[in-house]
Amino acid sequence: MYKLLICNSTLSDKLFDPGCLHTSFGIRKEKKDHYTNVPRNANLEKLPKGYLFPEISLRQHQHLEQHPDASLISLGIGDTTEPVPDIVTSRMADFASGLSTLEGYRGYGAEQGNKELRKAIAETFYKDVNVKDSEVFVSDGAQCDIARLQLLLGSRVTAAVQDPSFPGYIDTSVIIGQAGDLDHETGRYHRLEYMKCGPENKFFPDLRRTSSTDVIFFCSPNNPTGHAATRQQLEQLVKFAKDNGSIIVFDSAYATYISDDSPRSIFEIPGAKEVAVEISSFSKFAGFTGVRLGWTVVPSELCFSNGFPVIHDFNRVVCTCFNGASNIAQAGGLACLSSEGFEGVRTRVNYYKENAEILLDALASLNIKAYGGQNAPYVWVHFPGMNSWEVFDMILEKANIITVPGCGFGPGGEEFLRISAFGHRESILEAARRLKALFS
């Protein structure tokens, strides 16, 4: 029997549920004897038929049905693989065990997060830029915070996204009502501003040709390209936001992977506190993809057009929609930021960076142009003139390797593949060997 490796079990299980009628891109409505009078949210109807990673899971499933003995290597979804340091898991286990005692039991915590953890985040990541612990909101992950920020911003704002970019920015913009209709020919939504970020412009948009918007979603190091914006580039971005009265939503989830002098926080740039919020996560540096823990920084200096502080409205959204991150997860987060814990998680980060170097070396030996990998756990591989889904299918069919087609990250990702460096070392070495055999 083959083993099916699913990128997202909940969504993928639905894709394969025999009780539903399926297309190759998602789920059609079930046949029912009764329908309500409630119309479907019109914005949800504007989303593509299938989310990227369930579609990859579907193709993976079909491949394994045809090749049941295939030994697949998954370098697709960016999921960590190496064990969490003992000091972190032991702290979580101790907290969980304490819940069975009168002395150790804890119920609801503050919606904004454990004060000790908020202080530790501020001191560990923002000490040199004077972020206060009261400006840190602990959450269950950066992706959830993107959705909460969209609730904060509402449907009337205009938004800009990097192209290519993480699909969550675009999909939440569609759901909240900011994006307008999809142009199926271009793959772009009419009301979104797509900021082209490719090798030809050093993965940073030409702001002279970028229309002003209320909100700018910007990820550095970028997912999927792996590029970390330089100080000069971020200075341009902050100036652009100030000149146009915009708010930057800065995603720094991969900041701990930065090896050079690129800024790890938007708040390293003078004036950024007046124009930006920052979201981040324990997922990729601490192996918390399943534990779920992240944070958002909302500076007290950031205000809406009427002068009202953004932090007060974000606090209201958090208190309305969220009961706080798991106490057990927060205990683990605190352990990660202890001296011993931080050294342990840094070891895992370096492990994945070594994986990326192995993949980059293999591709360089084949004269295949690849980007990223040095400041992020992703390698962005260029196949000029080729359709990214076709390259995905070829590598899956001939090398039994799961990657991610670049077009899934936006029109600017066509001709590219994203290869993840998250994996056991033996899998990375074998993947490098297979790629050399395929493209030699």
Taking only the tens place, the pLDDT of each residue in 345-382 is: 999 999 999 999 999 999 999 999 999 999 999 999 99
Amino acid at 436: K
Q: What is the pLDDT of residue 50?
A: 67
pLDDT band of 332, cuts 50, 70, 90: very high
Taking only the tens place, the pLDDT of each residue in 418-437 is: 999 999 999 999 999 999 99
Q: Residue 292, by phi and psi: left (phi above 0), alpha (psi -120 to 50) or beta?
A: left
Find where tokens 């090398």 sit.
399
Candidates 20, 65, 26; CA nearest to 44 is: 26
Q: What is the pLDDT of residue 28?
A: 56
Taking only the tens place, the pLDDT of each residue in 67-93 is: 999 999 999 988 999 999 999 999 999
The pLDDT of residue 22 is above 90: no
- The whole-number average pLDDT for the span 310-334 is 98
What are the φ and ψ backbone dihedral angles of 245, each rounded to 5 degrees? 70, 30
- The whole-number average pLDDT for the span 330-352 is 98
Based on DSSP, count helices (H) and strands (E) in the chain, helices before strands.
Answer: 13, 17
The pLDDT of residue 258 is above 70: yes
CA-atom Rg of the chain in angstroms: 22
pLDDT band of 25, cuts 50, 70, 90: very low
pLDDT band of 52, cuts 50, 70, 90: confident
Amino acid at 35: Y
Between the alpha carbon of residue 170 and those of residues 71, 193, 317, 438, the distances in Å are 34, 10, 20, 34
Helices (H), 156-307: 167-176, 231-244, 283-286
Question: What are the structural domains of the chain?
Answer: 11-83+342-439 (3.90.1150.10), 87-339 (3.40.640.10)
The pLDDT of residue 49 is above 90: no
Candidates 374, 376, 375, 354; CA nearest to 432 is: 354
- The whole-number average pLDDT for the span 170-188 is 96
pLDDT band of 30, cuts 50, 70, 90: low
Is pLDDT larger for residue 108 or for residue 33? 108
Q: What is the pLDDT of residue 53?
A: 83
Of 26-40, 110-124, 159-173, 284-298, the range with the lowest mean pLDDT is: 26-40
- The whole-number average pLDDT for the span 10-16 is 37
Q: What is the pLDDT of residue 14?
A: 38
The pLDDT of residue 15 is above 70: no
Q: What is the pLDDT of residue 233?
A: 98
